Amino acid sequence: MAYYVNRNIKMTWWEKIYLPEIIKGMIITSRHFFSNLFGFIPFFLGTQKERKIMTVYYPEEQVQYPIAYRGRPVLAQNEDGHPACVACGLCEIACPAYCIHIEPGENSGKQNQYERWPDVFNIDYAICIFCGNCEEACPEEAIFMSDDCEISMLDRKKMLYTKEQLLTPVADLQKRIEFTRNMYAKWNY
Amino acid sequence: MWVDLAITLVKILFIIGVTVGFFAPILTWVERKQSAIMQDRIGANRADILGFTAIGLFHCIADALKMFTKEDFIPEGANKILHTLSPIIAVVPAILTFAVVPFGGQYTIFDNEVNLVISDLDVGLLFVFAIASLATYGYVIAGWSSNNNWSLLGSMRTASQMISYEVTMGLTIVGVLMVYGSMKLTTIGAIQEDFFKWGLFLQPLGFFMFLAASIAENKRIPFDNPEAESEIVAGYFTEYSGLKFGMFFMSEFIEMVTIGAIMTILFFGAWHIPFLTTTTLLGWFDFLGTTGSNILVMLIQVGVFFSKVVFFIWLQMTIRWTLPRFRYDQIMKLGWKILLPLSLVNILVTGIVILVLN
């Protein structure tokens, strides 16, 4: 029934007894068991903040994602509350999944600080593939990938975010802005 | 007579409460949590009552509720009577073996001799093995009546494995019997009052062989071919759900406790603390009077016994989560070509040593 594969395993006499090797393995697992068991006790008593175990109680505890992490794309909002976006539509073109919809608004004669802005700026996260092409295409540093990935919902229609929901103050995005500057400067755009 | 009956009833209730009511549900939690901690994980902690998780202890309750409310499914073409009967046949022997397992010595309480064993049979050890091997029928019938290829394969493997390792187990016990000269579990326990007469020192080879054989009897990893998940789904209980599945599950955990108890009695000094005889303990608590000191010593020794059982359960869990699974031919090879000759050699050596010493 069975055929034997010659694995060329040369076992010493000590290993062939099998029992000492089992005990060796059990010492390793028991060491982990006891060190973790007694590592838990000060954690539960509250005298120690850090566990030795790497596992994270996810909804209660969260880890800081690396700055290169691509979460949901958001719009940068200037200090005066106006979007940095000029509604050029480059991100709309760059988007491979066609999840961005922009309707531009324009300054009508009376000159002020802003000439163009998006009247409607929708991103449908149900379609978005988080590729980061929009961020790369943007000439105005207006759209950025945030570190937020918790966008699962029970209703698909709610996943279409409008401009008001997307706007995030520039101050919150500062790290990502610096990262993208370094990143894209490397490629000499 | 009424007093004896009452004492026996209390003992029965105690044993049922400890095995079925305490160990069986707690061990499901221990299994998860210990495996998690050994592998540097956290383990089950999501079942909560009003936001209070109690390090995952409520998973036992959640498990029981799940098993009670699940659909009781009998597959098409299955033998309904046998399909229903087999989990009962599997679980009853596991509980029944505790009838002869002593969990303490003999004490005098209010002028009554209390012997902490439900039924002190002269052939207690044989009774344990006779009843424990009855459980095989449950597994074989379960596989046969399910009308499922995987179940049948699993039950065939169970039958062959149980028979192979029962031989080793029986022959290992012969060494123990030769050393202690009695089949009465209470007598074997009483002899081990002397620390140097523990079975571990008198029968070191027998101890390891009995441990291996009893884990094989319980069908846990590394001997879990009858229910190998990656090969034959779940073996003989593939087609079981709800409370019937729960009974198979429970019988496995109760068998773990049984193995722990038998190991403790045969090899690990039963209810005795090393270097502390019962007389010494009674002498210490003499100021409480006869009844008071006896009750206190009884509680201490029952506690010692069950802590030893817990140690053996821990050992079995550690083995289960440390070692990989044997292949089927390796199990048979280990059983027939290594353990069986070794147990025969063990008997021979024990006999020679006894002959020389006398």
The 3-class SS string of chain B reads CHHHHHHHHHHHHHHHHHHHHHHHHHHHHHHHHHHHHHCCCCCCCCCCECCECHHHCHHHHHHHHHHHHCCCCCCCCCCHHHHHHHHHHHHHHHHHHHHCCCCCCEEEECCEEEECCCCCCCCHHHHHHHHHHHHHHHHHHHHHHCCCHHHHHHHHHHHHHHHHHHHHHHHHHHHHHHHHCCCCHHHHHHHCCCHHHCHHHHCHHHHHHHHHHHHHHCCCCCCCHHHCHHHHCCHHHCCCCHHHHHHHHHHHHHHHHHHHHHHHHHHCCCCCECCECHHHHHHHCHHHHHHHHHHHHHHHHHHHHHHHHHHHHHHHHHHHHHCCCCCHHHHHHHHHHHHHHHHHHHHHHHHHHHHHHC
pLDDT at A33: 86
Tokens 């000159």 belong to residue: A111
- Residue A47: pLDDT band with limits 50, 70, 90: low
- CA B314 to chain centroid, in Å, comes to 12
Check pLDDT > 80 for residue A20: yes
Tokens 């326990």 belong to residue: B189
Amino acid symbol at A16 = K
Rounded to a whole number of angstroms, the distance from the CA of A84 to the nearest CA of chain B is: 44
Q: Is B34 on the interface with A (CB under 8 A)?
A: yes
Q: Is B39 on the interface with A (CB under 8 A)?
A: yes
pLDDT at A188: 57
- Residue A50: pLDDT band with limits 50, 70, 90: low
pLDDT at A46: 67
Report the pLDDT averaged over residues A22-31. 89
Q: Which site among A33, A41, A56 would you substitute to test the B interface, given the most B Cβ atoms closer than 10 Å to its Cβ?
A: A33
Segment A169-188, tens digit of pLDDT: 888 888 888 888 888 776 65
- From the candidate CATH numbers 3.30.70.3270, 3.90.1150.10, 3.20.20.120, 2.60.40.10, the one assigned to the domain spanning A73-106+114-186: 3.30.70.3270
Segment A105-122, tens digit of pLDDT: 887 766 667 788 888 999
pLDDT at A96: 92
Mean pLDDT of chain A: 83
Q: What percentage of chain A exceeds 70 in pLDDT?
A: 88
pLDDT at A189: 53
Q: Where in chain A is the domain with CATH 3.30.70.3270?
A: 73-106+114-186
pLDDT at B356: 92
Closest to A33 (Cβ–Cβ): which among B37, B55, B329?
Answer: B37
Q: How far apart are CA B343 and CA B171, in angstroms?
A: 6
Between chains, do B40 and A36 touch, taking CB under 8 Å as contact?
yes
pLDDT at A49: 65
Closest to A37 (Cβ–Cβ): which among B37, B41, B319?
Answer: B37
- The interface predicted TM-score (ipTM) is 0.77
pLDDT at A186: 66
Rounded to a whole number of angstroms, the distance from the CA of B59 to the nearest CA of chain A is: 17
Q: Which residue numbers in chain B have pLDDT < 50?
A: none
Q: Tokens standing for B231?
A: 């090969």
Tokens 């004896």 belong to residue: B4
Q: Residue B322: which of B213, B222, B250 has the closest Cα?
A: B222
CB B231 within 8 A of CB B334: no
Q: How far apart are CA A176 and CA A184, in angstroms?
A: 12
pLDDT at A1: 63
B-chain CB neighbours of A29 within 8 Å are 38, 318, 321-322
